[in-house]
Amino acid sequence: AQKITQTQPGMFVQEKEAVTLDCTYDTSDPSYGLFWYKQPSSGEMIFLIYQGSYDQQNATEGRYSLNFQKARKSANLVISASQLGDSAMYFCAMREFLNTGGFKTIFGAGTRLFVKA
Amino acid sequence: GAGVSQSPSNKVTEKGKDVELRCDPISGHTALYWYRQSLGQGLEFLIYFQGNSAPDKSGLPSDRFSAERTGGSVSTLTIQRTQQEDSAVYLCASTYGGGTYEQYFGPGTRLTVT
């Protein structure tokens, strides 16, 4: 069964510093997609970044980058130059393709990030 | 354009009653998902629609849960004979296509079963 593991329930980072949020996954499917979402206290889920299993390069989106290590099955999120507004819950997710032609997404338990001024 | 909308935003119901939660996806999005998020937890996949059909219902917790989608648009998640453990935020998401497209989430419906 597919699985997403986020081992850091909570993380603290000083404003303007970089932080890495860990994510490991387990799948036997050669084709999959990895996502990171941000969930502020308001509750909405905000898409941050996507990495496909066949992508050769690590994905980057502004201050977000995904450190994709396929052999180790890890997809860590790196946030550079942290801002106070980055304080939120962060979820790693994996898209699993189904035999029916569709797909579903499974989420990790999340990491709560606290940015200190 | 308009994002994914869900109604109601909050629902308080008594144990044993039935509830219907509605999701209105972004126009043109063919795929629609329902998730459940219990307090302080991650998202639990419930069901996925491609058009009006649901290829994967494996995430539905019990036969008290059902969902339908009509016209390739609005979806309704129905919970019959609600239990206290059904209390959670129910999130809906839609996506334009398969694979690499990001999911756009609605604001969720907070269900409280008393």
Of A29, A105, A111, A112, which to mutate for an interface test with B (greatest number of B Cβ within 10 Å)? A105
Q: Tell me the one-letter amino acid at A114.
A: F
Distance from CA of B14 to the nearest CA of A (A): 24
Q: Are the beta carbons of A43 and B89 separated by less than 8 Å? A: yes
pLDDT tens string for chain A (117 positions)?
669 999 999 999 999 999 999 999 999 888 888 999 999 998 889 999 999 999 989 999 999 999 999 999 999 999 999 999 999 999 999 987 777 766 778 899 999 999 999
| pLDDT for res B113 | 97
- Residue A54: what residue type? Y
For A30, the 3-state DSSP assignment is: coil
Chain A positions with Cβ closer than 8 Å to B: 33, 35, 37, 43-45, 47, 50, 52, 91, 93, 95, 97-98, 100-110
Distance in angstroms (rounded) separating the CA atoms of residues B57 and B74: 17
Q: Three-state SS for B85?
A: helix
Contacts of residues A83-87 at CB distance under 8 Å and 24 or more positions apart, as own/partner, are A83/A15, A83/A16, A83/A115, A84/A15, A84/A115, A84/A117, A85/A115, A86/A38, A86/A113, A86/A115, A87/A40, A87/A113, A87/A114, A87/A115
For chain A, where are the alpha helices, taking DSSP H only? none
